[in-house]
Amino acid sequence: MARPIQAQVDLQALKNNLNVVRRAAPESRVWSVIKANAYGHGLHRVWSALSDSDGLAMLNIEEAILVRENGWQGPILMLEGFFCADDLPLFSKYRLTTVVHNNLQIKALQNAYLPIPLDVYVKINSGMNRLGFHPDNIYNIWKKLRSLKNVGEMTLMSHFANADKANGITSSMARIDQASKGLDCPRSFSNSAAILWHPEAHYDWVRPGIILYGASPTGKWQDIANTGLKPVMTLRSEIIAVQTLKEGDSVGYGSRYRATKKQRIGIVAAGYADGYPRHANTGTPIWVDGVRTRTLGTVSMDMLAVDLDSVPHAVIGSPVELWGKEIKIDEVAFAVGTIGYELMCALAPRVPVITV
């Protein structure tokens, strides 16, 4: 019999979340972001559930080729563009839209021999200081790209660092507006947080990422609880042992938890080798056989302990949800000092995944 841990990916929830995005930004087209193996959900298993998207956005050429060769005919946006000039023939062959964010990419486009022009997203650095051209240079860079025979349609793009805050895009939009004076062009600025909370920045294309998968851009589930978004990934396992502690008994490596009274605990087949965070301290929420309870002690490679005092009916074989519909991934992430994005992407290859 297989080890009982399993991840479930709900494709209907994914479709629902795309519809939530469309309702939030009804005048915009949607790039569904499926980078990082679709945020850990498995690109090969989820991309077709996003077939109502206007385009798919990702990072790796291998991802783009996979969805093209499996039948996706719509636009594909490469969010970091191409990494060397040798990539350009593949970009042309597979009809990829490239982000352009540095001068080396401009030079490569200028010198390449391509059968058809590439559509281009020109990235402006509006304050995040990762990728993009300085706002003062955007007008000249735009004109330069517009003159190249290898450049087709052009769109102005940026990415917000603080769209999860009430006034978080004000300074960025001021930079963008100043830089883009005189440019009559399509625009794509809004990430998940801006889609939900800054409709003034929706423009022509929005780029939902984390909200497609049913988690919050702020890391707090309560911030999206009333949006209609649904968790897509559920991580489940079972109780594989039950122990009864007496006062003073410890649990796990380092004896980080000690019982203060007689106490029942359960051992769950899930650990950091499955992608559950080792730094989850005692008290991280977990769901056991219909009851919300807590983890105890140090998470091991393959197992973790849970408090069964509030779950007297739990036995070997009782179901456990580590995150999903009952315990939101944002709750676990908040408890361990990270974000839902990281937990999704950290799901280990050894965990079986089923789709529903």
**Active site (catalytic) residues:** 35, 253
**Cβ–Cβ under 8 Å, residues 128 and 110:** no
- Write the DSSP assignment of 79-113 as a string of letters: TT--SSGGGHHHHHHTT-EEEE-SHHHHHHHHH--
For the CA atoms of the chain, what is the radius of gyration? Answer: 23
SS3 24: helix
Instruction: Give how far the C-alpha of residue 154 lies from the chain's centroid of Cα atoms, to the nearest Å.
Output: 26
Return the H-helix or E-strand segment holding 177: helix 170-179
3-state secondary structure 117-167: CEEEEEEECCCCCCCCECHHHHHHHHHHHHCCCCEEEEEEECCCCCCCCCC
Residue 337, Cβ density class (10 Å: 0-12 exposed, 13-18 middle, ≥19 buried): exposed
- Reported as half-sphere exposure (CB side, CA atoms, 13 A), residue 334 has a value of 16
Instruction: Give the SS3 label for residue 16.
Output: helix
